[in-house]
């Protein structure tokens, strides 16, 4: 099979590229290298089944040309800077909503009809039902990021109904693991590198968070794509557990071999639009036989070890 991955030089995209190549498929990565890293594609670039194209998802014609002959598109390119949405509200709209539209239009032009999409548990807003199932009560959006991804989901579903596409929509909790480029594990490692004695935590530290290891995430996506063929296939991806930011901070400190004093900014949210608790019901994906191999603690510790081995990532500033 031939796969086309937007954002394929990013965290999840590059892990997917490596996995698909390992499974014997052909892969084209399309990335504009604003947050993507060539270093993440080091292995992939050695393969004759791999093609790298530098381009912007806003450029429909270039994308359509590049994806000709592909059997499926994984659309992972996105603005994942969830926290700073309110500083530049147009970024989420352009990069997450409008670029999803451009990817769908490029697919129509290129005659490709299968799409996998990285959505987010943030689309549930402040969920009424926890753990939150895929068919939870119609949510009210609380962040520009969630709203922009929900809009992407809606476009994909409408293309499935209107143009006969098949859509795979994955609502992720936060993903951890190799090539993890931002978020609290990254921030805490960086802060503890500067000052191993103190760690300042946004919120009160009791925010509950659910995480999933990137390898488990890739397994889950490929399980759904392999086993499901509904018009629109929507799956939560997460583990059956959660942790508090305090737990995670302790594991990170322990893995780094430091014992910082924790201080807190206070309040039950890290930032405006931060959900105090995202915890997804994963019965639907588990019913397909998938189970995560790593616990949250194992995923956090593995991420810390990866960051320790790749200190350039902390300096990168992308």
Nearer to a copy of itself, 162 or 257 (CB): 162
Query: Cβ distance 30 to 55 under 8 Å?
Result: yes
Give the count of alpha carbons within 13 A of 296, CB side only. Answer: 21
Residue 93 to residue 153: CA distance in whole angstroms: 13
Query: Contact, 169 vs 135, CB < 8 A?
Result: no
Q: Which position among 3, 30, 145, 306 bears the catalytic label? A: 145
Binding of a copy of itself by 277 (CB under 8 A): no
Binding-site member from 24, 46, 138, 309 for a copy of itself (CB under 8 A): 138
Q: Which of 69, 111, 137, 266 binds a copy of itself (CB under 8 A)?
A: 137
Among 273, 278, 296, 303, binds a copy of itself (CB under 8 A): 273
State the minimum distance, in angstroms, from the CB of residue 224 to a copy of itself: 15
Q: How far apart are CA 204 and CA 56, in angstroms?
A: 39
145 belongs to the catalytic site = yes
Contact criterion met (CB below 8 Å) for 224 and 288: yes
CB 205, CB 262: distance < 8 Å: yes
By CB under 8 A, is residue 98 in contact with a copy of itself?
Answer: yes
Question: Which of 232/288 has CB closer to a copy of itself?
Answer: 232
Bridging pattern class, strands 211-213 and 72-75: unpaired
Site string for a copy of itself, 169-198 (x = CB under 8 A): ------------------------------
Q: Does 162 bind a copy of itself (CB under 8 A)?
A: yes
For residue 22, give every residue at least 6 positions away whose Cβ sits within 8 Å of its Cβ, in sequence order, or none.
none
For a copy of itself, the binding residue among 89, 111, 266, 267 (CB under 8 A) is: 89
Say how far apart CA 124 and CA 133 lie, in whole Å: 9
154 lines the binding site for a copy of itself (CB under 8 A): yes
- Residues 117, 53: Cα–Cα separation, whole Å: 19
Q: What is the DSSP string of 270-283?
A: SSTT--SB--B--H
Beta strands 243-244 and 208-209 are: antiparallel
Q: Is 220 in the site for a copy of itself (CB under 8 A)?
A: no
Q: In the set 135, 263, 268, 287, which binds a copy of itself (CB under 8 A)?
A: 135
Residue 268 CB, nearest approach to a copy of itself (Å): 14
Report the distance separating Cα 181 and Cα 37, nearest Å.
Answer: 10
The residue within the footprint of a copy of itself, chosen from 58, 93, 258, 288 (CB under 8 A), is: 93
Query: Among 80, 107, 155, 299, which residue sits at the site for a copy of itself (rule: CB under 8 A)?
Result: 155
Residue 279's alpha-carbon distances to 11, 120, 135, 148, in angstroms, are 22, 11, 14, 20
Stretch of 11-19, 63-71, 156-164, 253-261 contacting a copy of itself, by CB under 8 A = 156-164
Based on the shown chain and the rule CB under 8 A, indicate whether residue 81 belongs to the binding site for a copy of itself.
no
- The answer to whether residues 186 and 314 touch, using CB atoms and an 8 Å cutoff, is yes
* Binding stretches for a copy of itself (CB under 8 A): 85-86, 89-90, 93, 97-98, 101, 104-105, 124-125, 128, 134-144, 146-148, 150-151, 153-155, 157-159, 161-163, 232, 234, 272-273
Q: Which residues carry out catalysis?
A: 145
């Amino acid at each position: 099979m031939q796969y086309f991955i937007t954002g394929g030089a990013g965290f999840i995209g590059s892990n997917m590229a490596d996995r698909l190549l390992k499974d014997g498929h052909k892969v084209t990565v399309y990335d504009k290298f604003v947050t993507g890293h060539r270093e993440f594609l080091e292995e992939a670039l050695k393969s004759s089944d791999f093609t790298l194209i530098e381009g912007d998802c806003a450029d429909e014609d270039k994308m359509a040309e590049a994806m000709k002959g592909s059997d499926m598109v994984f659309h992972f390119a996105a603005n994942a800077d969830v926290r700073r949405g309110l500083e530049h509200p147009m970024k989420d709209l352009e990069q997450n909503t409008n670029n999803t539209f451009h990817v769908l239009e490029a697919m129509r032009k290129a005659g490709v009809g299968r799409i996998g999409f990285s959505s987010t548990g943030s689309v549930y807003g402040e969920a009424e039902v926890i753990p939150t199932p895929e068919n939870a009560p119609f949510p009210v959006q609380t962040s520009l990021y969630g709203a922009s991804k929900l809009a992407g989901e809606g476009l994909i579903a409408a293309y499935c109904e209107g143009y006969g596409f098949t859509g795979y929509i994955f609502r992720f909790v936060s993903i951890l693991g190799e090539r993890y480029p931002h978020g609290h594990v990254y921030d805490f490692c960086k802060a503890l590198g500067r000052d191993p004695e103190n760690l300042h935590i946004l919120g009160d530290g009791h925010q509950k968070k659910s995480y999933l290891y990137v390898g488990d995430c890739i397994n889950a996506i490929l399980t759904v794509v392999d086993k499901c063929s509904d018009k629109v296939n929507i799956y939560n991806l997460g583990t059956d557990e959660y942790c508090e930011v305090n737990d995670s901070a302790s594991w990170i400190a322990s893995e780094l071999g430091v014992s910082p004093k924790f201080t807190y900014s206070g309040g039950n949210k890290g930032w405006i639009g931060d959900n105090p608790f995202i915890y997804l019901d994963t019965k639907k994906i588990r019913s397909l036989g998938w189970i995560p191999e790593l616990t949250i603690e194992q995923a956090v510790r593995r991420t810390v070890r990866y960051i320790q081995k790749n200190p350039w990532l902390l300096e990168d500033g992308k």
